[in-house]
Homo-oligomer: A and B are copies of this chain.
Amino acid sequence: MKVHSAHLIPPRTKVKLKHVSCDDTGKYTDEDAAKVDLAKHRDCIDKYQEVLYAGGERGVLIVLQGMDTAGKDGTIRHIFSGINPQGCDVTAFKVPTPLEAHHDFLWRCHNAVPARGKIGIFNRSHYEDVLSPRVHGLMKDKTAKQHMQQINDFESMLVDNGIAILKFFLHISPEEQKRRLESRIEDSSKHWKLSASDFAERKFWPDYQRYYEEIFTATSHKHAPWFVIPADNKWYRNVAISRVLAETMEGMKLEYPAVTVDVASLKL
């Protein structure tokens, strides 16, 4: 994958999230210019998605991770509304069901990977397995390392089988999360989004950040890179992610498939 992005984590890089800006806006000084570019990226993604679908040979998997309120749902809404839903599958991973918990942690994710021809979006993902259990002392470091190696093997296999993988960490500051939670409390139309656990998990912030840093170091690869996206500004988050996706799809050099029928022989 040849994507140039200031937010790309090169392989085997140690990341200190507290040194990465949450409110960087790159080359943009205001929202309007970013919106123009977002619209261009969406058109581009939509165009290549049709070719992806027609070809049925390649797929794209987008992994979205981030702290609660980081904007995973909003990213999906703002970038992918406008894309043909027939070529785009979204899977939101919640606490594993009893059935899912009776399988290895990759089972439910494997089941949800995009088919060839599709863009698949994971709203949370297999990376949850090496986050929350570690934060709560339910997984040893050695097990977590094994799981990260298993994730690497799994993703390599997918890439070798035609699926491009892009992984985005939506990087918000604890202050921004506080503002967003407060706004959910103040706005009764957002009360359905309130979860007591979001508030409880806040006190584990440094642990989550530390384990995310380990994930980036261990699982960012040229073929399946992580991007740490400054996400305090929703509009920058959207344009930064859409740019990476649009450029990646452009770089895939997708083409409409060769005709398999003898067009001249078709009679009406």
- A: residues with CB less than 8 A from B are 46, 54-55, 73, 76-77, 80-86, 88-90, 92, 121, 123, 178, 181-182, 185, 189, 191-196, 199, 202, 256-257, 259, 261, 263, 266-268
A263's partner among B85, B89, B194 (CB-CB below 8 A) is B194
CB of A261 within 8 A of CB of B83, answer no
CB of A83 within 8 A of CB of B86, answer no
With most chain B CB atoms within 10 A of its CB, the pick from A80, A85, A191, A196 is A85
Contacts A81-B82, A81-B85 supplied; 9 other A-B pairs, CB < 8 Å: A80-B84, A80-B86, A85-B89, A86-B92, A178-B268, A181-B268, A182-B268, A189-B256, A194-B261
CB of B263 within 8 A of CB of A86, answer no
A191's partner among B90, B263, B268 (CB-CB below 8 A) is B263
In angstroms, Cα B199 to Cα A192, docked, is 51
CB of B185 within 8 A of CB of A266, answer yes
In angstroms, Cα B137 to Cα A122, docked, is 44
**Mind listing 30 A-B residue pairs with CB under 8 Å?**
A46-B81, A54-B193, A76-B84, A76-B85, A76-B86, A77-B84, A77-B86, A80-B84, A80-B85, A81-B83, A83-B85, A85-B85, A85-B121, A86-B90, A86-B123, A181-B266, A185-B266, A189-B256, A191-B259, A191-B263, A192-B256, A192-B259, A194-B259, A194-B263, A196-B261, A196-B266, A199-B266, A199-B267, A199-B268, A202-B268
